[in-house]
Amino acid sequence: MVSWKGIYFVLALFLASFFGSIFMLGPLLPLMSISPAWYRWITDRVVATWLTLPVALLEIVFGAKVVITGDGFIPEERSVIIMNHRTRMDWMFLWSCLLRYSYLRLEKICLKSSLKGIPGFGWAMQVAAFIFIHRKWEEDKHHFEKMLDYFCDIHEPLQLLIFPEGTDLTDETKARSDTFAEKNGLQKYEYVLHPRTTGFTFIVDRLRDGNNLDAIHDITVAYPQNIPQTEKHLLYGNFPKEIHFHVCRYPVESLPASREDLQLWCQKRWEEKEKRLRQFYEGKKYFDVTGRSKIPPCKSELRVMVVKCMSLLYWTFFTLSAFALLYMYNFVRWYFVIVVVIFTVQQKLFGGLELLELACHRFFNRRRLPNLNRY
């Protein structure tokens, strides 16, 4: 049954992302055609303000407890984050970890391409230059090349979250993983799915070649009490009571050089995840008895609490103000309609704002090269 908590959570996030896309990100779109690098720098920080809202709602309003153990993060570090995909919402829950140990503005996520068309959420993801994939490697490979090379070209540090398993853990996906294990003589897993290593190795190699990778953060996520498998569970008010993250950091210098060895390295990490999660769920349901990471968070819990409270206040005020402005002023309604049309039409014509951003970057690069050749 749908709960008021679930309705409030979904509505708060949707309205904030919808109005935020229109009134905060919309005015920044022309900057893309002037300086893609500056557009990326500014929009990353604007989008990061919204990413604090789910954290605030989960922890302050719904009382979720977050426990982070292991190596932690080094602030501003450029990394690939690999994580087991226990639920469809793991990527959002991870923001509680990154808020404390890193900077949300650095994160990019590999997501299904179907998500980019969602009003509000999808528009903001396009502006944030998340990497949308079709799960067809020949198509995705070319897109990965363009996106990763762009981040390297503009020297934009990023922490790219990918799920090598490709999908969340369910009875159906576990059965497919078991079939794959049988065909290839591999161990059957209970708590994870066998990873797909092609995309992972390509991403690591591309970023490494572009000198835009410092480490890999291998994160294991677990839910000791209730597991909200899908968005529907959140709508029903089934929010996680506890979320545990265990972080293992691997410096880029420690990674294998060849693609084949890197594939084996990734598979080894998943063997370790299976053991770690088995001990977690069959034991006392914690990764580390200390409940702390080896590297302290870059933000104190007081600072995190201030950020969460400010986020709740700001986005509540912002959403109510957006409704008020739309009700009071005709020119605001016209602006609203125009920006909605732009967000909708550009995707049909060009495939998404992140692709427009790439096109602008290539245009400026072509203009810059002839000027450099004169000297």
Decide: residue 317, CB within 10 A, 0-12 exposed, 13-18 middle, 19+ buried: exposed
Give the residue-averaged pLDDT of 145-174.
93
How far is residue 61's CA from residue 313's CA, in Å, rounded to a whole number?
A: 12
Is 59 in contact with 52 (CB distance < 8 Å)? Answer: no
- State the pTM of this model: 0.93
Provide the percentage of residues in the chain whose pLDDT is more than 90.
Answer: 82
Is 235 in contact with 229 (CB distance < 8 Å)? Answer: no
**288: pLDDT strictly greater than 90:** no
Supply the pLDDT for residue 373.
47
Summarize pLDDT for 95-134 with one digit per residue, the tens. 999 999 999 999 999 998 888 989 999 999 999 999 999 8
**272: pLDDT strictly greater than 50:** yes
Supply the pLDDT for residue 75.
79
The token pair at 238 is 């089934």
Summarize pLDDT for 234-262 with one digit per residue, the tens. 999 899 999 999 999 999 999 999 999 99
Summarize pLDDT for 164-174 with one digit per residue, the tens. 999 999 999 99
Please name the residues in contact with 89: beta carbons below 8 A apart, sequence gap of 6 or more: 228, 230, 231, 234
Q: What is the mean pLDDT of the chain?
A: 92
**Where residue 367 falls among pLDDT bands split at 50, 70, 90?**
low
**221: pLDDT strictly greater than 60:** yes
Q: Which H or E element spans position 79?
A: strand 79-83
Residue of 11, 59, 10, 368 lying closest to 243 (CA atoms): 59
Supply the pLDDT for residue 374.
45
**375: pLDDT strictly greater than 50:** no
How far is residue 158's CA from residue 317's CA, in Å, rounded to a whole number?
A: 30
**312: pLDDT strictly greater than 90:** yes
Q: Which of 69-73, 226-230, 311-315 has maximum average pLDDT?
A: 311-315
CB burial of 196-233 (b: ≥16 within 10 Å; e: otherwise) equals: bbebbbbbbbbbbeeebbbbbbbbbbbbbeeebbeeeb
Give the residue-averaged pLDDT of 299-325.
96
